[in-house]
Structure 1
Amino acid sequence: MAVKEILKDGNPILRRKSRRIANITEEDRIVIQDLKDTLYAGDGVGLAAPQIGYLKRIFIVDLRDGSEPIIMINPKIVKKIGTSEDIEGCLSYPGYEGIVVRPRKIMVSGSNENGKLVKLEVTGFLARAICHETDHLDGIMYMDNAKNIYKIQLEEDVDSKNS
C-alpha cells in the first residue's frame, strides 16, 4: 500500500480516542498494510493507527528479533502485573526519550487481522511496547507519564563537538 507520514507531537489527531472496529473492512486491511509499510520503512518497534492519521483501534508491534509481528485490533489490556521502569521513545516524538513506569507483565486480548480472537500473556519489552501502542489508541502519549524526558544526543552530534 504506502509508507505514510508519521504524525508528530502537537498534531491533535494523536490526542483523540480511536474508534472501535466492529467488522474488519477492506479499508482496515489497507490501514494494517500502511502500518506495516510505515513501520518497516523506519527503525521503530511499534506503530498505532492514529500515528498515521487513522482513528481506528489497530496497532502493530514487531520487536525485530525474528518473532512474528503482532497486529492487534481492538486491544484491551485485561490484567497488569508488577511494575518496570525503563526508557521509551516514540516515532511521533523523535529525538527524545523518557523514563516510564509500565506493568512488568500484561494479559491483552483483541483480534488479529483475520478477525480471530487473540489472547496474549507477555512480559518485559514486549509488554511495554503493547502498553505504549494501546495508549496511542486512547490519545495518550508516553510523555504524559514519563518521569524524565531528555533529548537524545546522537553519535554524530558528539563527534562534531569533539572535532
Structure 2
Amino acid sequence: MEVLQLGDELLRGKAQPVDGVTDGIRALVAEMFETMEQQQGVGLAGPQVGVPLRLFVVKAGDSVRRAFINPTVLEASEETGEYEEGCLSIPGVYHNVVRPRWINVQALAPDGTPFTLRADGLLARVIQHENDHLEGILFVDRVGDEFRDRISALFALRRERRAEKKAQKAAKSARLQAKIAAKQRKAASC
C-alpha cells in the first residue's frame, strides 16, 4: 500500500465510520499491518493509505498487533507527558508532542467484537496519534503554527520536485518512443 504524505487532501478529511466488519475490512487491516511493518512504523490509520474509514492498526510498546475499528477515546488523563513523535506520512520529521499519559479507548476488533482498553505510555501515545488521523489532524498541528507551516512548505516543495521529475521522465519516454516509431517507419519503407 502507498502511504500518503503531508499535502495530500485525504489526510485532512474526517474518516467515516466502518459500517460493518467484513472480510474486506479484515483484509484491509492485514494489509495495513504489513505496510506499517514494512515501513518500520508503530501505527497506521486508514486515511494514511487513502481509505477514509475510522480504523487504525498499532504495534507499539509490547509488540502486540492491535486493530481499532470505529475507536472512541472514552477517557484521558489530565496528566500529560512530552515525547518525540514522527509519522509515516511525514517521513524524516520528528518533534516533541504533549499528550495525555493514559487513555481508555473502546473499539471493535477485526472479528467484530467490541473491546475496551486502558493504555498508557507509548501505546497510549500511538493510539492518540492514530486516532488524530481519523479527525484529519497530524502531529505537526499539535506542535505550533510556525513548525507546521515550515514543514508543510517543505513537503509542498518536495511534491513540486517529484511532479517535475515525473514530467521530465514522461517527456523523455515520449521522445524515445517517437525515435523508435521513426526508425520503424524508415525500416518499413526500405
With the shorter chain as reference, the TM-score category is: 0.7 to 0.9
The residue aligned with 2:51 is 54
The residue aligned with 2:106 is 109
Structure 1 position 42, deviation (Å): 1.6
2:126 aligns with one of 103, 126, 129: 129
Identical residues among aligned pairs (%): 38
The one-character-per-residue Cα deviations of 1:42-80 (angstroms, maximum 9, x if unpaired) are 211000011111011111110264x42110100111101
| Number of residue equivalences | 147
Q: Say whether the 8 Å CA contact 1:44–1:91 is kept in structure 2.
A: yes
- Partner Cα separation in structure 2 for residue 78 and residue 108 of structure 1: 5
> SS at 1:6's partner residue?
coil
Q: Say whether the 8 Å CA contact 1:89–1:96 is kept in structure 2.
A: yes
Normalization by structure 2: what TM-score? 0.73
Q: Say whether the 8 Å CA contact 1:73–1:110 is kept in structure 2.
A: yes
> SS at 2:88's partner residue?
coil
Going by fraction, where is strand more abundant, 1 or 2?
Answer: 1
> SS at 2:94's partner residue?
strand
The one-character-per-residue Cα deviations of 1:75-129 (angstroms, maximum 9, x if unpaired) are 1111010111111000000011111110001000011001111100011111000
> SS at 1:135's partner residue?
helix
Structure 1 position 28, deviation (Å): 1.3
The reply to whether residue 72 of structure 1 matches residue 73 of structure 2 is no
The one-character-per-residue Cα deviations of 1:137-162 (angstroms, maximum 9, x if unpaired) are 111100000156799xxxxxxxxxxx
Deviation above 4 Å: which 4+ runs of structure 1?
A: 147-151
> SS at 2:52's partner residue?
coil
> SS at 1:96's partner residue?
coil
> SS at 1:118's partner residue?
strand
Instruction: Tell which structure's C-alpha radius of gyration is larger.
Output: 2
Q: Say whether the 8 Å CA contact 1:31–1:54 is kept in structure 2.
A: no
Give the AA of the match of 1:49. G
Give the AA of the match of 1:35. M
Structure 1 position 37, deviation (Å): 1.3
Going by fraction, where is helix more abundant, 1 or 2?
Answer: 2
- List alignment gaps of at least 5 residues for structure 1: 152-163
Give the AA of the match of 2:100. P
The residue aligned with 1:86 is 83
